[in-house]
Structure 1
Amino acid sequence: MKQLTSYEGLHCANCGAAMQGEFCHECGQSIHSVLKPMHHMVEETVETVLHIDGRIVHTLPPLLLKPGFLTLEYFAGRRVRYIAPFRLMFVLCLLSFFVFHLAIDQLTDKIPANGHPLVSVNSSAIEAATSPAEVRKALQDELDGLQRARDTGVLPANVLEQARVGEQELRQAANRRLAALGAAPTPAASLAAPPAAAAVNVTDTKPRDGLPKATEGESKPVRIAWLPDVVNSRLTALGHQMQRNWRTFKHGDPAASAEAKQRMINGVFSALPPTMFVMIPAFAVLLKLFYIFRRRLYMEHLIVALHSHAFMFLSLLLITLVGMLSTWLRPHAAWTGYALGWLQAALILWLPTYLLIMQKRVYRQGWPMTLLKFWFVGWCYFWLLTLALMVAAALGMAH
């Protein structure tokens, strides 16, 4: 049973009004002091986290499965049990871009920088050999290929380490095959890493002859008459930095090229959240224009935009996670990879279907008019988003 507390005779420390409860009815300040023992702070933190978790349970399932439900609940005044629209969109935006960034990093790590192939070994010829002589010949061919890759002098230190591990794996595969054929194993060879001098040479990032220098081929300064000089200077600096990053990525040594690639990717992903924060009110403006005769406030369209983008970020998060899980499971159990692929396709198809049903339920128009407006709003938003993403990509490449 909740204990009754009397606040008679107590006054707000901020405005002096007579207290009628835990919070002042004039200024809203709590009667409780923020100076508390540590165990009280821990208790309040746990209570806050559990409260948020409860709202997550009430918010995420309908956000994913019930188009327009959260928006209509918010309009009806039932808001306490759900996460606020902006906070929901903000958290899902950051989380989805973070996971998508991880997926892009894993994908780009498998792609060679500026055309230089990464070191890879193939023991299939060794395992398919039918005599000890064929085993030794297949092993020598693979080792000669690794040595030729080392002799190019362009491999960074981490790839040289991969070559060393690959050589060890090839020798182990050859010894297993020789043992199966009843022959003596190959003599042990030195598996030590290349000399320090060679490591220094391959990681040296100083400009070589034939490579464009940082100041060569830079574009002319930006001069737009109606822009202030400081903006023109900033645009010029961004253009030069973009050219330097791209030149290093295309023509630099592998280590510098990989660094430039990662720098540009990080820059793009750092520019995406602010870009989306600009696109959300722009999307609300489109809804306001296409539903101007519905006599709704701009804030109502903004709530629709926030919930729509929260759903899109949640979908992006789930699609990315399912794709990463499919890639991880496919080599071990092919059927799980195919099943997750179908799930990923279903999530992609659910994305436009959800938004269409949401628009129909929130604005309560007939299907013909809803389909027409959905197509026009989507078409306009697509080109606005494309332009915004191009700007974000340019800013990221100039990082």
Structure 2
Amino acid sequence: MEKKLVRLRIRPSRNGRSFAYFLDYVDTNGKRERKSLGRMEPRQAERERARVERELRMGVIAPESMPLSEFVADSLSKTGDQIRESTRQGYAATMREFVSVIGDKDYQKVVLQNGEYYRQYCLDQGNSPATVTKKLKEIKAIFQLAVKRQQLEANPFAYITKPKCPTPEIHTYTDDECRRMVKAAREFCDAVDMRRNARWELLILVALCTGLRRGELCNCLWSDLDFEAHTITVTPKGDTDATWKWCIKDSDSRAVPLTEELTQMLIEHQSRQPEGYPYTFIPPARYDHIQRLRAEGKWTYCDSRTKTVARFNKVFIKILKRAGIGEGEFHDLRRTAICNWFREGLSELEVMKLAGHTSFETTHKYYLKVSDDSVDRARKASAQAMSRSGTLWHAPASSSDIQDGRCAVSAEAGNAYIGP
């Protein structure tokens, strides 16, 4: 039987009518400690003994009290590089807002009602249900880490109800929109200085062909391209004199195919680039600027995901407007590519590998968008059923018929008119 590190002692009061509990143990520095628990129920005293026991076996005595703000800083510090810098920033921002709403109270005293109050606060501030759900997941994750580290016995957010939000529609571009977009990008490139602006025509075409994410495209090196095999290999990048650190979102690495025509366009693009610039889609002037920022210590890992190409979103929106496309974002090019793969008969496993998804559910959403023809099949089934029933509807012959509330029913049985 494992020896107990913490012993629960009991001492009667002077009048002999009640009992007080205290704990005896030796801390991690070898010092004997006696912690008074005061008057409490036996089960509660045993839970406190077990908690201190767990902390001793971990080699750390957690503080009895810690403000939420310190708790968050401590939690993220212990997590280290297990999460992305951008993820860490998101968690920290959400927790700052949470603390500002409920107060910088002891983290051990946070209860479910605090989460429910914060949820309603976010909704009252105009946050969408999806945004509120994301924030609640981040807070829940922080407290779940405390449970795993045995700082808490239970997660106060374990049973919080998230706002109902509809499943977002997967938006893709039509073939005609893609043609107009490429044409608009070509016109944009003809009108600007290409040393300072990216080759947007190439960015769009490669995204439509390979389904690469924005960060994967912007951190693509010439060494990642295999012109003979017509492929691009997506690999993480190290922090060197010529390149900055960048990691892939999900999978470790993968190779995606290029068409022969697109390969030739990339070869021609490379022939026009000056020597000493390793990135495929980052303009030379922008690369020089980034290198100066790195030398000054002003370039972060988060910047490698969002700032490699200047004014990325603003320029892409301009291209959409020039193409006469009212709705869309750059990531929709990836969604379009994935849906195109399914339409051409690729299996879900093949698409999952090409897209770099680690979750099958993510890939399955695109499969359902392409394969879900239930509306068309239901329409055909309804048409056949009405035809068999011999019910025939005709549109009113004139406006006077509409005013009189009359609708002509054909005397010809067995023939139905459905649709325009």
Report TM bin, short chain: under 0.3
Q: Hey, which of these two has a bigger chunk of helix by percent? A: 1
Question: More relative contact order in 1 or in 2 (CA 8 Å, sep 6+)?
Answer: 1
